[in-house]
Structure 1
């Protein structure tokens, strides 16, 4: 039976890499799929992995009806054997409902990939709806790591190097630790609660190293 499967995890846990692998495996068996994405790091209409793999995808816009898009494609003679959706957390709850209709009415497997919570530790609306509707929820086995070495469970946002816990839910930013105004990092719960990013920890360590030694 076709399924709606939600693969979830934090940033850096290999979601997009697995999405591309599933697509590759099915293509190798002569199947044809449709890939959807939204706000990918590689730009509009692209699905990319941090390992450097990139492929074309259909960019999901705000009002887009995914079910109608697939019906139109198939009615025009296009072949669709499966559907992959990356960055599914950015979809609206209504679009997640459309994916469920794709499974039930069009009898296609839908593989959705996304992170569950935002930098405030709150569920993305798209991810919440997937948790409510998915036939299966799979936590990815590649564990991202906090700077301290513990398992990373939370996504953190930085602005000008300082961790923040307020602001718009979706802001595109840098994930490589460069000097971008808005950046993201994965942390364990302890250090997310303490707002201690890797950069903050390094700064604290340097400050400790340069403390003057008291004279005897």
Structure 2
């Protein structure tokens, strides 16, 4: 039975690396996978999933108008990076794809933003996913990182602003709960 999986973590934990490895494993067996990332994520170029370790791959884009139930014939697995940017309706489509069409769907993303607020896509993934897995990361203090902190160009913490601001290590850092509240 196919499932909808949600693999989440704080920033910089290896979500994209894991996704690229899963795609490789399927393709090495001659199976077709479809990989997606958010159209708004242009950190490494539009339509690319890039691991901080180096591997990079061209993938399909999803935006607000993407319908995940279209054109999924002969697909062995669907992989979605930056899944926090999915709409609630898209998460429902991915759940339906797994449950009714028998296509495994593995989503990778953040659980919460820099204020500790859930992303709508992540909230729906936490509600609908058949399997939820935390990808571990560590805070600068050595404890498990579960939160994300946004910083400015001087490394100073930003506590207010729009929920979505695309950036990498120059704009975000991972933190444990204690450092999130006291840092």
Q: Which residue does the alignment assign to 1:61?
A: 63
Aligned pairs for 1:93-108 (under 5 A) are 93-108=88-103
Q: Deviations over 1:34-91 (max 9, x none)?
A: 00111153221111111111111111112211212x34xx3xxxx3111001110011
113 and 40 in structure 1: CA distance in 2 versus 1, 3 angstrom threshold: farther
Q: Deviations over 1:89-145 (max 9, x none)?
A: 0111111111012112321000111110100011111000001111110112xx322
- Which is bigger in relative contact order (C-alpha 8 A, separation at least 6)? 2
The answer to whether the aligner puts 1:116 opposite 2:100 as a matched pair is: no
Aligned residues: 180
Task: Give the TM-score normalised by structure 2.
Answer: 0.92
Structure 1 moving runs of 4+ over 4 Å:
none
Q: Distance in 2 between matches of 1:153 and 1:104?
A: 29
Q: Which residue does the alignment assign to 2:166?
A: 172
Structure number with greater Rg is: 1
The answer to whether the aligner puts 1:36 opposite 2:36 as a matched pair is: yes
Q: Distance in 2 between matches of 1:43 and 1:59?
A: 12
The answer to whether the aligner puts 1:16 opposite 2:4 as a matched pair is: no
Q: Distance in 2 between matches of 1:103 and 1:93?
A: 16
Q: Deviations over 1:148-175 (max 9, x none)?
A: 2222221000123321221111101231
Q: Which runs of 5+ in 2 are unaligned?
A: none
Aligned pairs for 1:1-216 (under 5 A) are 1-38=1-38, 39=41, 41-68=43-70, 70-71=71-72, 74=73, 79-140=74-135, 143-161=136-154, 162-175=156-169, 177=170, 183-194=171-182, 196=183
Higher helix share: 1
Residue pair 1:40, 1:47 contacting (<8 A) in 2 also = no
Q: Which runs of 5+ in 1 are unaligned?
A: 178-182, 197-216
Q: Distance in 2 between matches of 1:41 and 1:67?
A: 27
Which SS does the other structure have where 1:44 is aligned? coil
Residue pair 1:117, 1:123 contacting (<8 A) in 2 also = yes
